[in-house]
Amino acid sequence: MQTYKVDLSEQNEVYENEPQNINEQNIKVKRNIKAAGLFVASLFFVVVTVCVAVIGCNYIVNRNFRETFYNVSSLKVDNKIRIIQISDLHSCSFGKENYKLIDRVKKLKPDVILYTGDCFDSKDKSEEEIVSLCKELAPVAPSYYIYGNNEVERLYDIPLIQEELDKKYGYGDEREPQKLLEEKDLFEETLEKTGVEVLKNECDTITVGSTNIDVFGVLTSNPSSFWTYAGETFNDYAYKNTNNLKITAIHEPFVFEEYEYEFWGDVIVCGHTHGGTVRLPVLGPLYTHEGGLFPERNGDFVYGRYSVSGKPMIVSSGMESNNLLRINNQPELVIIDVNRF
C-alpha cells in the first residue's frame, strides 16, 4: 500500500483562503449584475421617457392642424385660383364643431373646396360633424365631396373593386357602370342639401374669374375598377374643353402608381395614406397599409408633391388628429394656389 505525504499546512491555507475568493468573486458578479441591471434600467428609463415624451408632444401638437401651401403653375388660369383640400378627417374635430377649421378656411378665401374622402369613420361614429362642416363651408366656395374607402364601407354593401362590382353590375358587354353612379344614398342627399356636390366618376365645371375649371371626382379609385367604371367619363373630362383647368380629385393615389397615362389632370389631389402615419427623419414615412414598411422607397405616393405625367399631384397627410401613433406628422390643411407663372 502506498502512502502519500501531504503538506496539509499549504492545503489548509488554500482551503482557508477559498471562501474569501469565492466571496470576492460573488461580490464581483453581484456588482456586475447590479451594474448591468442599472444600465438596463437606465436604458429602459431613457427609452420610455423618450417614447412618452415623443408621443405626448405629438399628441399635443396633433390637436391643431398646420397649413401646407403649394404653388402650382398653369397657363390655363388668368387669375390666381386657390384650392383648399380637406382629407381624411375621420370624424375628428378641431375645436367645438370644427370652429377652428371653419374660421381658417373662411379667412384663406378659397375658390374651390375639395373633400377628398374618409371625412368620417366607417365604424360607429356619426357623420353629423362632417355634414355640419360642409354646411358651414358651402357658402364660402363651390365645394365637392369625393368618397373614400370609409364612406364606401359605410354606404355601399361591397368594396368597390372590379370583382365585386362585376357581380352586381354585370360582366363584359352587359356591364352597366352607370347604375353604380346613379345609386343615391342618404348621405349624398344630405350633402347636396348643404350645397356640397358629391362627384362620383363625374365632372363639374365652374367659372372663377375668367377661368373655367373642370373638377373630376373619382368614386372607383381602386386600380382594378378605375378604367372599367370611370374610364369613359374620365376620358371625356380629360379630352374635352382642353382650355379649362382640370382638377382631378381622388381618394387613393394607387391608380397613378399602377397606370401610366398621358394626362391625369392639371392638378391632382389625393389623400388616404395619412402621410405614412409615422414620419422618421431622413427615412421618411414609416408605414402604409398597402405599401408596408418605408413605402416611399418602393416608389409609392405617400405624402407631399409628386409629378404625374408632368403635372403636379398633391397627396395630403390628412387631418386625423386622434391617432396616438401619428408622429412627426401633424394633421394638415392643404392650400393649393394655381398661378399662371
Partner 1 sequence: MYTSILKKLPVFVAVILLVAAVVIMYFRSKNVTRSEFIKFIKNAKYVRAWVFVVVFVMTTVFAIFNHIHSKQSVYAVVALNYSEASQAQNSNGTRYNMAEITCDEVIKKAIDMGAFEGVTVSDLKKCLAVYPYVQGDVRDESEYHISTEFIVEYYASKDTQHLDAENVIKLITSAYKEYYIEKYTDNFSLSTDGKKPDFDSMEYMDIVTYFEKETSSILNYLYSMAQKSPSFVTANNASFNSIAGKVFQFKETQIDQNLRSLIMQNGIVRDSTGYVDRLSYQNKNTDFDRRKNAISFDLCNQAIAMYSEEMTRVVLVPTWDEVGKYYMGRTKVGIDELSVKATDFSNRVASYEKEIMYNNLIIDKMNGSDAGYEKNQSADDLVESIYESIRNFEKEAISAGREYSNHRMNQCIAVSMSGNSLFGELKTILLFAMFAYVSVILFTISRKFPKRV
Residue (37 or 170) nearer to partner 1, CB? 37
The residue within the footprint of partner 1, chosen from 55, 59, 80, 125 (CB under 8 A), is: 80
Residue (66 or 184) nearer to partner 1, CB? 66
Query: Where in 142-249 does DSSP place strands (E)?
Result: 143-145, 196-198, 202-208, 211-217, 245-249
Residue (33 or 38) nearer to partner 1, CB? 38
Contact between 42 and partner 1 by CB under 8 A: the answer reads yes
Q: 106 to 165, contacts with partner 1 by CB under 8 A? A: 107-109
Whole-number Å distance between alpha carbons of 75 and 341? 7
Task: Fill in the amino acid letter for 192.
Answer: E
Q: Residue 220 has which C-alpha cell?
A: 372607383
Of residues 221, 256, 202, the one with CA closest to residue 149 = 221
Whole-number Å distance between alpha carbons of 27 and 139? 79
- State the minimum distance, in angstroms, from the CB of residue 201 to partner 1: 28
Order of strands across the sheet that contains 202-208 = 202-208, 211-217, 245-249, 267-270, 311-315, 304-308
Contact between 184 and partner 1 by CB under 8 A: the answer reads no
- State the minimum distance, in angstroms, from the CB of residue 5 to partner 1: 47
The residue within the footprint of partner 1, chosen from 38, 51, 54, 161 (CB under 8 A), is: 38
Whole-number Å distance between alpha carbons of 212 and 215? 10
- State the minimum distance, in angstroms, from the CB of residue 184 to partner 1: 35
| Cell 380629360, located at residue | 238
Of residues 152, 262, 140, 234, the one with CA closest to residue 196 = 140
CB distance 173 to 228 below 8 Å: no
Contact between 21 and partner 1 by CB under 8 A: the answer reads no
Of residues 214, 152, 239, 226, the one with CA closest to residue 187 = 152
The residue within the footprint of partner 1, chosen from 28, 31, 66, 240 (CB under 8 A), is: 66
Residues that bind partner 1 (rule: CB under 8 A) add up to a total of 27
Of residues 195, 324, 213, 202, the one with CA closest to residue 266 = 213
Q: Give the number of other Cβ atoms within 10 Å of residue 62's Cβ.
A: 21
Element (H, E) at 314: strand 311-315
| Cell 390643411, located at residue | 333
Residue (72 or 160) nearer to partner 1, CB? 72
Residue (223 or 304) nearer to partner 1, CB? 304
The residue within the footprint of partner 1, chosen from 153, 236, 290, 337 (CB under 8 A), is: 337
Contact between 71 and partner 1 by CB under 8 A: the answer reads yes
- State the minimum distance, in angstroms, from the CB of residue 112 to partner 1: 16
- Contact mark string toward partner 1, 227..266, x via CB under 8 A: ----------------x-----------------------
The residue within the footprint of partner 1, chosen from 124, 282, 299, 307 (CB under 8 A), is: 282
- State the minimum distance, in angstroms, from the CB of residue 11 to partner 1: 37
Q: Which residues bind partner 1 (CB under 8 A)?
A: 38-39, 42, 46, 66-69, 71, 73, 75-76, 78, 80, 104, 107-109, 210, 243, 281-282, 328, 337, 339-341
